[in-house]
Every structure is written in structure tokens, then in C-alpha cells.
């Protein structure tokens, strides 16, 4: 009996110390974001980096998701003659769930992992020590701009996903499935509200914050040695995705009440 109990005990300690370290990391972010120097140039560079990494896949998956969604709902709705509702169904599910969540998963895999890899490499090759020796706060220099950029970038990418997805839905709905175009748009404006878009954007903002927080956290915490960086990158991707999915549920349950 001792062995399982002690394993459970050491796992619990590990979990709590990770949570503790993560909390300190978050606290440090809010502390250092408020202190000069404000490195706008680095934020812009990171925005460009995230965009560059993700825009193409966002367009690709957004377009196809919208198209497939239009197809799938059409054949169900056709049975009960409500096929004119394909537009709003695509638009609503995109705006409230699919755009922020899928964009979040994509950015997690692309940019979140890359953040961990970059910072992790800088750590094991002593580039972070080099910054510190020059008197530069490495957290403020490396983590803060990435977290700010991630928090700004994800809502923007999510809008892009939403737009291209709806274009996909519109093309399939009106051109391939021949739903009447004026009906398509009429229903869209009947059922779609700004609150739906806000809900998605708020969620995307949180996801962007979490993903870049996790990416930079695992970057700073890579272990020395050859596999350290690879492992850190993996953990950043996996945890980024898990946190997107779990926080999506929590945020949704809160936002549907207040919006």
C-alpha cells in the first residue's frame, strides 16, 4: 500500500508545485507588462510571427469547415424543408464556437509550440543568460511581447476564420446547393446577432492569452539536454490545446448567461 500512496503523494506535490509556478508566471506577466520599457516593436514582430505561422492554415481550415458544415446541415435540414437556415447555422456555430476554438487549436500547434521552441533554445544555449548579463530582464523581453501579441492575434485570426468560413458556407449553400440567395441572407440577419460575434471574440482573446502564456512558460522551463527543447515544445502544444478545450466550456457557460 505504501507505494501507490507515495506515488499519489509525489504526483500531488508535483501538480501543486506546477500550479504554483504557473501562478507566479502569470503574476510576473501582469507585473512586468506595467513596467517600462514598453517594447512595441517586439510586440509587432511577434504579431507578424504568429500571423505568418498561422494565416494560411486558418484560411484553409476556415474555408473548408464552412463548406463542409453547409453541406452537412443542408442534407439534414432539407428533409424538413428548412434548408434556408443553412446560412445562420453555419454563421452561428462558426461565430460562437468553431472559429475561436479551431483557430485556438491551430495557433496552439503552430505559434504556441514555436514560442516554447524559441525560448527553450535560447535557454539551453545560454542566450537568456546573455540577456540577463547585459542587464535585460529576459521575462520582460521574451515573454511579455509574446503574450500580448498572442492575446491580440487570436481574436483577429478568429475573425478571419469566421469570414472565410462564411464565404465557404455561402458558396456551397447558394452556388452548389442552390439555396435562394436573398433567403440565405434574410435568414442570416434574422438569426445572427452581434452578441454571437462578441462571444467568439471574447473566447478567442482568452485562448490567445492562455496559449502564449503556456508556450512561453514551457519555453522558460525546458530542462537541459538534447531532448529538453523538444519535450517543452510538445508539452506547450498539448497543454495549449487542452486548456483551449476546457476553458471553452467554462467561458461558454459564463458568456451565454451574460451576453
Partner 1 sequence: MKEFAVEIDNLVKEYSGVEVLKNISMKIPKGKITTILGFSGAGKSTLLKHILGISKPSEGLIKVMGTDLGSLHSKELRDFRRNFGMVFQYAALFDSLSTFENVAFPLREFLSLGNNELHDRVENLLTAVGLEQDSFNLYPHELSGGMRKRVGLARALALRPKIMLYDEPTTGLDPITTKTVNDLIFDTANDQSEHELTSIIISHDVKASLAISDYIAFLESGEVIEYLPVEEFKSSNNSMIKKFIELS
Q: Which residues bind partner 1 (CB under 8 A)?
A: 121-122, 125-127, 129-130, 132-137
Please report how close the Cβ of residue 7 comes to partner 1 at its closest, in angstroms: 21
* CB closer to partner 1 out of 99 and 117: 117
| C-alpha span between 140 and 242 (Å, rounded) | 26
Q: Which is nearer to partner 1, 137 or 252 (CB)?
A: 137
Question: Cα(8)–Cα(55) distance, rounded to whole angstroms?
Answer: 43
Contact call for residues 222 and 182 (beta carbons, < 8 A): no
Q: How far apart are CA 210 and CA 239, in angstroms?
A: 10
User: Which of 145/165 has CB closer to partner 1?
Assistant: 145
Q: Rounded to an integer, what is the distance from CA 101 to the centroid of its chain?
A: 7
Given a contact cutoff of 8 angstroms between Cβ atoms, the answer to whether 188 and 174 are in contact is no
User: By C-beta, is 130 or 254 nearer to partner 1?
Assistant: 130
- Write down the least CB distance from residue 250 to partner 1, Å: 35
> Nearer to partner 1 by C-beta: 71 or 141?
141
Q: Is the peptide bond before 103 cis (omega within 30 degrees of 0)?
A: no
Cell of 86: 443553412
C-beta of 130: minimal distance to partner 1 in Å? 4
Q: How far is the CB of 193 from partner 1 (least distance, A)?
A: 44
**Residue 81 has what DSSP assignment?**
T
**Least Å from the CB of residue 70 to partner 1:** 42
Amino acid at each position: 500500500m505504501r507505494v501507490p500512496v507515495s506515488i499519489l503523494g509525489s504526483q500531488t506535490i508535483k501538480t501543486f508545485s506546477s500550479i504554483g509556478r504557473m501562478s507566479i508566471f502569470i503574476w510576473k506577466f501582469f507585473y512586468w507588462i506595467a513596467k517600462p520599457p514598453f517594447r512595441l516593436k517586439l510586440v509587432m514582430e511577434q504579431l507578424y510571427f504568429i500571423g505568418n505561422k498561422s494565416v494560411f492554415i486558418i484560411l484553409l481550415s476556415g474555408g473548408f469547415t464552412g463548406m463542409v458544415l453547409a453541406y452537412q446541415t443542408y442534407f439534414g435540414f432539407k428533409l424538413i424543408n428548412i434548408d434556408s437556415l443553412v446560412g445562420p447555422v453555419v454563421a452561428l456555430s462558426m461565430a460562437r464556437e468553431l472559429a475561436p476554438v479551431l483557430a485556438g487549436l491551430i495557433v496552439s500547434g503552430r505559434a504556441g509550440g514555436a514560442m516554447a521552441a524559441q525560448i527553450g533554445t535560447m535557454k539551453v544555449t545560454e542566450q537568456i543568460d546573455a540577456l540577463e548579463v547585459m542587464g535585460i530582464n529576459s521575462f520582460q523581453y521574451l515573454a511579455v511581447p509574446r503574450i500580448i501579441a498572442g492575446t491580440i492575434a487570436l481574436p483577429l485570426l478568429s475573425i478571419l476564420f469566421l469570414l472565410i468560413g462564411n464565404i465557404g458556407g455561402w458558396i456551397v449553400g447558394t452556388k452548389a446547393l442552390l439555396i435562394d440567395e436573398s433567403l440565405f441572407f434574410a435568414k442570416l440577419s434574422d438569426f445572427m446577432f452581434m452578441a454571437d460575434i462578441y462571444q467568439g471574440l471574447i473566447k478567442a482573446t482568452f485562448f490567445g492569452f492562455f496559449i502564449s502564456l503556456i508556450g512561453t512558460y514551457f519555453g522558460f522551463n525546458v530542462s537541459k539536454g538534447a531532448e529538453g527543447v523538444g519535450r517543452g515544445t510538445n508539452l506547450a502544444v498539448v497543454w495549449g490545446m487542452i486548456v483551449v478545450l476546457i476553458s471553452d466550456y467554462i467561458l461558454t457557460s459564463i458568456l451565454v448567461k451574460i451576453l
